[in-house]
Amino acid sequence: MRYLMALWLAGCIALGAVTASCVLLDQEESTAGFFLLVAVVLLSLLDSFISSVIFSVVGAALLNYFFTEPINSFGISNTADLFSLVAFLVTSLAITTLVRRIGRIEKTQRAQAQLLELTHDIIIVRDKNDVITYWNQAAESLYGWKKEEAMGKFIDELLRSVFPLPRDQLQQIYVRDGQWEGELIHTRRDGTEIIVTSRWALQRDGAGNPLATLETNNDITERRRAEDLLRKSQAQYFAEAQKLSRTGSFGWNFSSGEVFWSEQTFSIFEYDPAVAPTIELVRQRMHPEDIRVLEELLAQASGSSADFDIEHRLLFPDGRTKHLRVVAHATNDQPNNRLLIGAVMDVTGAKQTEERLRHAQSELERVSRVTALGELSASIAHEVGQPLSAIVTNGEACLRWLHRQPPDMEEIEGCVRQMTDQANRAAEIVQRVRALMKGAPPDRAPIAINDVVEEAIAVITRDIERQCGLLTRRLASGLPLILGDRVQLQQVLVNLITNAMQSMASVSGRRELIVQSRLDPEGNVVVAIKDSGAGIQEANLPQLFEPFFTTRSSGMGMGLAISSSIVDAHRGQIWASNNPEGGATFSFSLPPAMTQEVVRK
């Protein structure tokens, strides 16, 4: 309000001054009216409509008072003066309103122009001749050219623009559509090149002729660089992965005949990547025996949509072959545009490994057949060997008794009886082996283990007498029966007792062999053969029961292996340990007949 009062006062003084000057200079009403009008218009610029009204009224009043008849009075004597005063008032109000409106428009425009300065987008206005007429702050900082340097310059020259298509062609499209959007390369003041996305909007005059262009640009140099880098590194990873997996990719456009190969495909086919890939190149590398695979694939792929998974070989000029697996898919990406896209894997290594594995397997089968045969013959030799040597021993004894004078018929009979028994046993073993070969199951009859122990001792009684100082039986009475094969269990006992005697033969001093039978806490029948021999070396303990493991120069290493498989077949266990006082104990346990029955049910 204070501002308004001051303005109005100053305005009235100014108008007074103008009037006074005109009076003093003895000017006419029209001249004074003109100067007052100018003064009113200028004053009106300083404020709103009310001020213009006040100044216009004051101006008209001063004109009336000092220049219309009667002078120095507010009266009006003729109508013409009244008209000129009204005309002054109307003109003054009209002009001041107009001037104020123009001022407002200008203000708005200035504000809008300031807003354009605030944006980070580059805004350039150019006239129909592409001469720059507006250049915002962002354009200054991006291109390095100041507004005053850029204004009036031909834009394509200043920015050394590089267009994605010929300039004339681009202009035609732009004028036709009234807008254009694309990427441009510009050069900055310092000479560096940048990539911008550029949007152009065309302003036309009333007749539709181009008038000006509003161009907004965005700097995408960094983004493009990052994208390029990413693309490059992705391509690099892809190439590396293809190399590692020995997998290449390919594409074939049936319509255009275009063929694409990845770097790895070139390396699989062993062609220079500079060569343009063709189907003919593939044909040249195909193994002659597999060439029909390619022909079939091509025939099928050009037909309906299909998936392929095939294997074939390549034959190189130096005679090398490669095995390839090709997985491909034929499809139409657009009607009439047929594509075959796929991957080709070098599976030569895998094929060779497979081949080696197959070879190793058949070798293993052959070896195990030989081993099984060896084991079997060793087992027959070993098991039949025992009764045969017993027969020989008995035969010799028999001869000695015969040559006595008089011959001891009782001893001879005993010997012959034992020889018959042992021959029967050998025959029985051979029969068992035959049954085994035929796959017949072993005998399963209830047996008292102590009987088996006695029978086994009887078989080798002469050996025992010759080699062993003392044989002690500690056989528990009332043991449960076990279910088993009498002859096989005899074999186990003969083996264990023979081993014990052999071990004791290597040491001097007192020799004692204890054969024990007992019941363990779980109710199993246990038989143990304890000797006072050399004992077992700790390192050998884990391998004792393996076939062909032996520490004896004349040993075959089959006795314990056979014993172990017999005990296993009887659902029992066999083990060995060293005695604290020296020597070793070999034991085996067998489940009682009852449990086996239950298990069998």
* Residue 583 CB, nearest approach to ligand ADP (Å): 7
How are the residues of the chain apportioned to helix, strand and coil, as percentages rounded to the nearest 5? Answer: 55, 20, 25
Joined together, the tokens standing for residue 116 give 């354009």
Q: Which is nearer to ligand ADP, 352 or 540 (CB)?
A: 540
Instruction: State which amino acid sits at residue 132.
Output: I
Q: Which long-range contacts (CB under 8 A, 24 or more apart) does 349-357 make?
A: 349/246, 350/323, 351/323
Q: Which is nearer to ligand ADP, 441 or 542 (CB)?
A: 542
Q: Which is nearer to ligand ADP, 559 or 591 (CB)?
A: 559
d(CA 538, CA 518): 26
Q: Confirm or reject binding of residue 503 to ligand ADP (CB under 6 A).
A: yes
Q: Report 92-111 residues binding ligand ADP (CB under 6 A).
A: none
* Residue 356 CB, nearest approach to ligand ADP (Å): 35
* Residue 568 CB, nearest approach to ligand ADP (Å): 15
* Residue 551 CB, nearest approach to ligand ADP (Å): 3
Q: Which is nearer to ligand ADP, 36 or 457 (CB)?
A: 457
Q: Confirm or reject binding of residue 514 to ligand ADP (CB under 6 A).
A: no
Number of residues interacting with ligand ADP: please give it, by CB under 6 A.
Answer: 23
d(CA 36, CA 15): 6
Q: Which is nearer to ligand ADP, 38 or 388 (CB)?
A: 388
Distances (CA, A) of 267 to 129, 345, 444, 521: 56, 11, 68, 72
* Residue 556 CB, nearest approach to ligand ADP (Å): 4
Q: How many residues does the chain have?
A: 601
* Residue 559 CB, nearest approach to ligand ADP (Å): 3
Strand boundaries in 357-411, DSSP class E: none
Q: Confirm or reject binding of residue 138 to ligand ADP (CB under 6 A).
A: no
User: Count of H helices and E strands in the chain?
Assistant: 19, 17
Q: Which is nearer to ligand ADP, 196 or 584 (CB)?
A: 584
Q: Which is nearer to ligand ADP, 349 or 385 (CB)?
A: 385
Provide φ and ψ at 44, rounded to 5°: -65, -25
Q: Which is nearer to ligand ADP, 286 or 558 (CB)?
A: 558
Q: Are strands 470-475 and 512-519 parallel, antiparallel or unpaired?
A: parallel
* Residue 378 CB, nearest approach to ligand ADP (Å): 9
Q: Which is nearer to ligand ADP, 52 or 495 (CB)?
A: 495
Q: Which is nearer to ligand ADP, 385 or 407 (CB)?
A: 385
Cα angle at 261 between 255 and 263, to 5 degrees? 165
* Residue 441 CB, nearest approach to ligand ADP (Å): 25
Q: Which is nearer to ligand ADP, 485 or 531 (CB)?
A: 531
Provide φ and ψ at 559, rounded to 5°: -55, -55
Contact 487, 555 (CB under 8 A): no
* Residue 319 CB, nearest approach to ligand ADP (Å): 53
Contact 566, 527 (CB under 8 A): no
Q: Which is nearer to ligand ADP, 161 or 550 (CB)?
A: 550
* Residue 489 CB, nearest approach to ligand ADP (Å): 16
DSSP string, 321-372: EEEEEEEEEEEEEETTEEEEEEEEEE-HHHHHHHHHHHHHHHHHHHHHHHHH
Contact 330, 309 (CB under 8 A): no
* Residue 569 CB, nearest approach to ligand ADP (Å): 17
* Residue 461 CB, nearest approach to ligand ADP (Å): 18
Q: Report 524-583 residues binding ligand ADP (CB under 6 A).
A: 531, 533-536, 544, 549-552, 555-561
Q: What is the DSSP letter of 70?
A: S
Contact 461, 407 (CB under 8 A): no
Q: Which is nearer to ligand ADP, 286 or 492 (CB)?
A: 492
Q: Which is nearer to ligand ADP, 375 or 451 (CB)?
A: 375
Considering only residues 85, 294, 494, 584, which one is a binding residue for ligand ADP as defined by CB under 6 A? Answer: 584
* Residue 345 CB, nearest approach to ligand ADP (Å): 52
Give the sheet arrangement for strand 259-261, strand by strand. Answer: 259-261, 247-253, 337-346, 321-334, 306-315
x/- track of binding to ligand ADP for residues 483-502 (CB under 6 A): ------------x---xx--
C-alpha 259: how far from its chain's center?
Answer: 28
d(CA 11, CA 9): 5
d(CA 346, CA 267): 10
Joined together, the tokens standing for residue 338 give 């047929």
Joined together, the tokens standing for residue 582 give 């020296």
* Residue 577 CB, nearest approach to ligand ADP (Å): 10
Residue in the block written with tokens 């006074």: 20
- Where does residue 304 rank: exposed (0-12), middle (13-18), buried (19+ CB within 10 A)? exposed
CA dihedral 303, 304, 308, 310 (to 10 degrees): -30
**Binding site residues, ligand ADP, CB under 6 A:** 495, 499-500, 503, 531, 533-536, 544, 549-552, 555-561, 584, 586
